[in-house]
Amino acid sequence: MWEANGPHEASRQGRAVRPSCFAVSAVGPARRVGDPASAGTMTDMADHSVLIWSDYI
Amino acid sequence: MEWLPFDLHPEYPPEGIPRAELQALYGKGFHDSVRELVEQAGFTYNPPPDVVPNSRRALEATELARDEGLHQPVHDRLMQAYWSEARDIGDEATLLDLVAEVGLDRDNVRAALADRRYAERVDASTREANELGVHAIPAFVLGRRLVVLGAQPHEVFQQAFTQLEEENQWQPSSS
């Protein structure tokens, strides 16, 4: 819904400014959350089935 | 279910930006559509009319709350304050008032913000999201397998959960 550097970056690049709209997409097998590649990070929490990244604004 | 911090606009100055600047870029129609969605969900849409805050300090204070077992009340209080009560959560005095309301020690929060105690955690979380291809929020990772980006309708989540069930990947937690 809110893009990082959204209107600013889009405007700078001359792209149309509009809300993001995405479909469901699979995380590539090499970057599955919880894989050893992400061990030690905040998402290395096997008991959490839903993670939500968010900001307040 | 776990909420993780994502610093959406690190480029904002500490005092935030004029809301008029954002409205000029997105257009009034966009904000009207957000208002409609929020009100349809039964919430009051009333963000600060003059400023879009820099949320960095709010994100860092929320991590302190996480460590003290108060993440949910602090997160909920700040969301409510910003979106429905027109509070500038980027203003440190306002932020301290709000988090103190739900149990955090004001002096401890002030000290944590001053020494940037949680800065690296917020940065790491944002980096990790970026590495997963997350550049829009809210971003949901379901069953450690599927990413849903943005505020999507129920049907999208139903589709995702169905897909996970079919792949035997979905193991609901008790939280």
- Whole-Å CA distances, B73 to A14, B16, B77, B79, B99: 40, 24, 6, 10, 9
pLDDT value for B68: 97
Question: Taking a C-beta distance cutoff of 8 angstroms, is the pair B39, B45 a contact?
Answer: yes
Check whether residue B120 and residue B91 sit in a common domain: yes
Phi, psi of B55 (to 5 degrees): -95, 5
pLDDT value for A44: 45
| Token pair recorded at residue A15 | 């792209």
pLDDT value for B29: 80
Check whether residue B82 and residue B107 sit in a common domain: yes
Q: In Å, how far is A24's CA from the nearest CA of chain B?
A: 5
pLDDT exceeds cutoff 80 at A29 = no
- The residue written with tokens 């829009």 in the block is B136
This complex has an ipTM of 0.89
Whether B9 and A57 lie within 8 Å, measured CB to CB? yes
Question: Taking a C-beta distance cutoff of 8 angstroms, is the pair B41, B170 a contact?
Answer: no
Could you tell me the residue range of the domain that residue B155 belongs to?
A: 133-166
Check whether residue B104 and residue B24 sit in a common domain: yes
Whether A56 and B82 lie within 8 Å, measured CB to CB? yes
Check whether residue B123 and residue B141 sit in a common domain: no
Check whether residue B115 and residue B138 sit in a common domain: no
Segment B122-140, tens digit of pLDDT: 999 999 888 888 888 889 8
Could you tell me which chain A residue has the CA closest to the CA of B47? Answer: A57
Q: Is A30 on the interface with B (CB under 8 A)?
A: no
Whether B3 and A45 lie within 8 Å, measured CB to CB? no
Evaluate if pTM is beyond 0.90: no
Check whether residue B120 and residue B161 sit in a common domain: no
Segment B62-92, tens digit of pLDDT: 999 999 999 999 999 999 999 999 999 999 9
Check whether residue B29 and residue B85 sit in a common domain: yes
pLDDT value for A11: 41
Whether A42 and B172 lie within 8 Å, measured CB to CB? no
pLDDT value for A24: 52
Question: Taking a C-beta distance cutoff of 8 angstroms, is the pair B83, A2 a contact?
Answer: no
- Whole-Å CA distances, B11 to A22, B36, B68, B90: 24, 28, 29, 14
pLDDT exceeds cutoff 60 at A35 = no
Whether A53 and B5 lie within 8 Å, measured CB to CB? yes
Q: Is A9 exposed, middle or buried (0-12, 13-18, 19+ CB in 10 A)?
A: middle
Which residues does chain A have within 8 Å of residue B148's beta carbon, measured at their own beta carbons?
22, 24
For chain B, what is the radius of gyration of the CA atoms? 17
pLDDT value for B153: 81
pLDDT value for A3: 56
Of A11, A20, A25, nearest to B147 by CB-CB distance is A25
| Token pair recorded at residue A1 | 């819904």
Check whether residue B65 and residue B142 sit in a common domain: no
pLDDT exceeds cutoff 50 at A15 = no
- The residue written with tokens 């937690």 in the block is B173
Stretch A46-54: mean pLDDT: 75
Domain count, chain B: 2
Cβ density class A14-42: b for 16+ within 10 Å, e for less = eeebeeeebebeebeeeebbbeeebeebb
Whether B82 and A57 lie within 8 Å, measured CB to CB? yes
Could you tell me which chain B residue has the CA closest to the CA of A35? Answer: B144
Coil vs helix vs strand at B75: helix
- Collect the ranges in chain B with pLDDT lower than 70: 168-175
- Whole-Å CA distances, A35 to A31, A39, B160: 7, 7, 20
